[in-house]
Chains A and B, each alone.
Chain A
Amino acid sequence: KNEVEQSPQNLTAQEGEFITINCSYSVGISALHWLQQHPGGGIVSLFMLSSGKKKHGRLIATINIQEKHSSLHITASHPRDSAVYICAVLNRDDKIIFGKGTRLHILP
Chain B
Amino acid sequence: DAMVIQNPRYQVTQFGKPVTLSCSQTLNHNVMYWYQQKSSQAPKLLFHYYDKDFNNEADTPDNFQSRRPNTSFCFLDIRSPGLGDAAMYLCATLGANSYNEQFFGPGTRLTVL
Which residues of A are at the interface with B, using a C-beta cutoff of 8 A? Answer: 30-31, 33, 35, 40-45, 48, 50, 86, 88, 90, 94-96, 98-101
Contact = CB atoms under 8 A, between A and B. Distances in A.
Secondary structure of the B contact surface, majority rule: strand
A62 B105 CA distance: 25
Contact of A90 (B41, B102, B107, B109): B102
B107 A43 contact: yes
Nearest to A93: B55
5 contacts: A33-B102, A43-B107, A45-B102, A45-B104, A100-B42
B101 interface: yes
Interface of B: 31, 33, 41-43, 45, 48, 50, 88, 90, 92, 94, 99-107, 109
Given A33-B102, A43-B90, A86-B42, 17 more contacts: A41-B106, A42-B88, A42-B104, A42-B106, A43-B92, A44-B104, A45-B101, A45-B102, A45-B103, A50-B100, A90-B100, A94-B48, A95-B45, A96-B92, A96-B94, A100-B42, A101-B42
Contacts of A50: 99-100
Secondary structure of the A contact surface, majority rule: strand
B29 to A, nearest CB: 11
Contact of B42 (A30, A90, A98): A98
Given A94-B50, A100-B42, A101-B42, A42 B100 contact: no
B48 A95 contact: yes
A84 B28 CA distance: 29
B23 to A, nearest CB: 12
Given A40-B109, A94-B48, A96-B33, A31 B100 contact: yes
Nearest 8 A/B pairs, CB to CB = A42-B106, A31-B100, A98-B42, A43-B104, A42-B107, A48-B101, A100-B42, A90-B100
